[in-house]
Amino acid sequence: MLEVRDIHSYYGKSHILHGVSMTLQEGEMVCLLGRNGVGKSTTLKSIMGMVRPRSGSIRFQGRELIGLQPYQVARLGVGIVPEERRIFGSLTVEENLLIGKKNALDGGDGAQAWTLERVYQVFPRLHERRTNKGRHLSGGEQQMLTVARTLMGNPRLILVDEPTEGLAPLIVQDVLHMLAQVRRSGVTVLMVEQNFKAAVQVADRFYVMGKGQIVFEGDVDALLAADEVRKTYLEV
Amino acid sequence: MTQFAVFVLHGLAYAGLLFLVSSGLTLVFGMMNVLNFAHAAFYMLGAYFSYSILQWSGNFWLSMLLCPLILFVIGALVERFLLRRVHQHGHLHELLLTFGLAYIITEGVKWIWGNYSLAVSLDGFLTGQVSLLGITYPVYRLFIIGCAVAVGTAMSYVFYRTRVGIIVRAAVDDHEMVNALGINVPLVFMLVFAVGAALSGFAGVIAGPLLTTYPGMAAEILVDAFVVIVVGGFGSLGGALLASLIIGQLQAFGVLLVPKLSLALIYLLMAVVLVVKPSGLFGEEA
Ligand SMILES: Nc1ncnc2c1ncn2[C@@H]1O[C@H](COP(=O)(O)OP(=O)(O)O)[C@@H](O)[C@H]1O
Ligand SMILES: [Mg+2]
């Protein structure tokens, strides 16, 4: 479904991604691990069109994404849940949800489309808070809202950047549960995490990133077996 | 007492014009981070185009309809072919561009219409006076207040009650995120810029018969409009409304009570707001 090949991305003159490649199959939940600052977020932003790679290729369902604007990538069925969450603070919860709505793809493949009703069913807390301003939500609520806001566009692939960052352990479990649910609904998930223990619970496959490059690819067992990789690139 | 009411009405009429000019200015700044120095030049163009349309057709209603349309197109072209191109080079370039544009428009106006004031005269009921509760007041100022209320109401409805409004408010918060959610943000920028130019032009049309139409009129209102968007809070339509009302009254009563200091009063207000609430009356706390 997604094929990233040898991309090189920059911020101004600083060369951040040095030839990143990864592949996702439809329906998979894949996790990208790695230490702070190695380029995980930049990889997601490159896929979304928020950073334009200078070379390489990113194919989504057979279409080249490099050169498209973020809204065009979104309309093809890719959604991003950014690390900073980026809730619209001056809008109500419901208005936050309505933003992504109009250009929503139909559910596609017979999958159930996300609507306000369905979001409120799955996230009753957001229903309770629907008239509150975004900036008045707690961290866990904000994380729910960003994910739900992106789902309103009915993406086929969702890019989730460190969803458990800064959340209390109990809320972390809620968020993981929610992502597993999203994935069961047929959405392919590419998740960035630093929290290895959290990631292992939900992901099928893992990529590990070193400085701007992928240094490991494999499933849970392979990752647990690869002591060197974990020591060098993950454990602090 | 009647004198007091007259000055309140004067203040309201000026507030109406100010609000029409500053609403576009504040939204463009809130969304695109561009302080558009050419925004008041659109207001001036509205007044001059209206003058010429009146000369040619004698129909004020026609110029009220045509001028905003023309300025909508001009605004869209400026955004699409000038601002968007320099955007990637940063704010300073955008600022210089709008500054240069304001300059060019002002010189162009002098060249075409001359470097002196023109009198826009109306006939018909708009020139009359009404008497109400012992006050005699020019119909035309009431007409300006009415126009501003009508346009302001329509705008508030769109801004706070429709999907388009949700998108524009969200884009003021974080336009990159709106883009990533599937909204064609460059198009939104262009339309908001164009609507802002059209409103500014509309203000120019209705200002024509009240104030003087001359090449300095843009600079004159621009200063007050800047104060409005600072006091109201960048990107806030509600803030622009409240600040326009306050500054309208300050203007009217300042001229009455402390004629020499009326301009200083406005800066004083701005300074006080900046000290007490730097993000403006309705601004988001950083
Ligand atoms: N907007 C930016 N401008 C300049 N440098 C940036 C920007 N965002 C990130 N970087 C730099 O790029 C590198 C990779 O960042 P990022 O992709 O956010 O890492 P990660 O998500 O793996 O923590 C870091 O060194 C960071 O300092
Ligand atoms: Mg990151």
Residue A185 has pLDDT above 90, yes or no: no
3-state secondary structure of A9: strand
Taking CB atoms and an 8 Å cutoff, what residues of chain B touch A95? 166, 169-170
Q: Which amino acid, residue A75?
A: R
Burial of A231 (0-12, 13-18, 19+ CB in 10 A): exposed
**Using an 8 Å Cβ cutoff, are A214 and A22 in contact?**
yes
Structure tokens belonging to residue A168: 């209390």
Using most ligand atoms within 8 A of CB, pick from A31, A38, A159 the residue to mutate for ligand 1: A38
Phi, psi of A66 (to 5 degrees): -65, 130
Taking CB atoms and an 8 Å cutoff, what residues of chain A touch B166? 91, 95, 98-99
Percent of chain A at pLDDT above 90?
A: 67
CATH number at residue B51: 1.10.3470
Taking CB atoms and an 8 Å cutoff, what residues of chain A touch B165? none
Angle at A234 (CA atoms; ends A230, A235), nearest 5 degrees: 85
As for how many domains chain A has, the answer is 1
Using only C-alpha atoms, chain A has a radius of gyration, in whole angstroms, of: 17
DSSP A102: T
Mean per-residue pLDDT, A9-30: 95
Mean per-residue pLDDT, B29-41: 91
Q: Is B285 domain-assigned? A: no
CA distance A70 to chain B (A): 5
Of the candidates B193, B218, B201, which has an alpha carbon nearest to the alpha carbon of residue B26? B193
Q: Please give the pLDDT value at position B38.
A: 94
Residue A103 has pLDDT above 70, yes or no: no
Mean per-residue pLDDT, B263-284: 85
Q: Which residues line ligand 1 (CB under 6 A)?
A: A 11, 14, 16, 34, 36-42
Of the candidates A3, A2, A8, which has an alpha carbon nearest to the alpha carbon of residue A212? A8
The pLDDT tens digits for B196-246 are 999 999 999 999 988 889 999 999 999 999 999 999 998 889 999 999 999
Mean per-residue pLDDT, B186-201: 95
Determine what percent of chain A falls in helix, strand and coil, rounding each to the nearest 5.
Answer: 35, 25, 35
**Using an 8 Å Cβ cutoff, are B281 and B242 in contact?**
yes
Mean per-residue pLDDT, A85-114: 77
Q: Please give the pLDDT value at position B235.
A: 87
Q: Is B286 domain-assigned? A: no
Tell how far the Cα of A216 is from the centroid of ligand 2, in angstroms.
18
Q: Please give the pLDDT value at position B284.
A: 67
> Which of ligand 1's atoms lies nearest the C-alpha of A36?
23
The pLDDT tens digits for B112-147 are 999 999 988 887 778 888 887 778 888 999 999 999
Query: Average pLDDT over chain A, rounded to whole?
Result: 90
What is d(CA B165, CA A180) in angstroms, rounded to the nearest whole number? 34
Taking CB atoms and an 8 Å cutoff, what residues of chain B touch A99? 166-167, 170, 178, 181, 183
**Using an 8 Å Cβ cutoff, are A150 and A117 in contact?**
no
Residue B18 to residues B43, B56, B75, B131: CA-CA distances in angstroms?
A: 10, 28, 19, 26
Q: Please give the pLDDT value at position A104.
A: 47
3-state secondary structure of B121: coil
Angle at A226 (CA atoms; ends A221, A231), nearest 5 degrees: 130
Q: Which amino acid, residue B263?
A: L
Cβ–Cβ below 8 Å for A86 and B169: no
**Using an 8 Å Cβ cutoff, are B185 and B178 in contact?**
yes
Q: Which amino acid, residue B18?
A: L
Mean per-residue pLDDT, A206-223: 93
Phi, psi of A20 (to 5 degrees): -90, 135
Residue A109 has pLDDT above 80, yes or no: no
Q: At what angle do helices B39-57 and B217-232 cross, to 10 degrees?
A: 130
A-B CB pairs within 8 A amount to 67
3-state secondary structure of A85: coil
Band (pLDDT 50/70/90 cuts) for residue A46 is very high
- The number of residues making up chain A comes to 236
Q: Is B283 domain-assigned? A: no
Q: Is B227 domain-assigned? A: yes
Cβ–Cβ below 8 Å for B170 and A99: yes
What is d(CA B125, CA B136) in angstroms, rounded to the nearest whole number? 15
Tell how far the Cα of A89 is from the centroid of ligand 1, in angstroms.
24
Of the candidates A149, A144, A150, which has an alpha carbon nearest to the alpha carbon of residue A163? A144
The pLDDT tens digits for A186-205 are 899 999 998 888 888 889 99
CATH number at residue A35: 3.40.50.300
- Which domain, by its residues, includes A164? 2-233
Of the candidates A235, A236, A233, which has an alpha carbon nearest to the alpha carbon of residue A211? A233
The verdict on A225 touching B (C-beta cutoff 8 Å) is no
pTM for the model stands at 0.89
Band (pLDDT 50/70/90 cuts) for residue A140 is confident
- Which domain, by its residues, includes B158? 2-276
Q: Is B281 domain-assigned? A: no
Taking CB atoms and an 8 Å cutoff, what residues of chain A touch B185? 71
The verdict on B265 touching A (C-beta cutoff 8 Å) is no
Phi, psi of A145 (to 5 degrees): -65, -40
The verdict on A48 touching B (C-beta cutoff 8 Å) is yes
Mean per-residue pLDDT, A125-136: 94
Using most ligand atoms within 8 A of CB, pick from A14, A32, A42, A165 the residue to mutate for ligand 1: A42
- The number of residues making up chain B comes to 286
Cβ–Cβ below 8 Å for A150 and B181: yes
As for how many domains chain B has, the answer is 1
The verdict on B158 touching A (C-beta cutoff 8 Å) is no
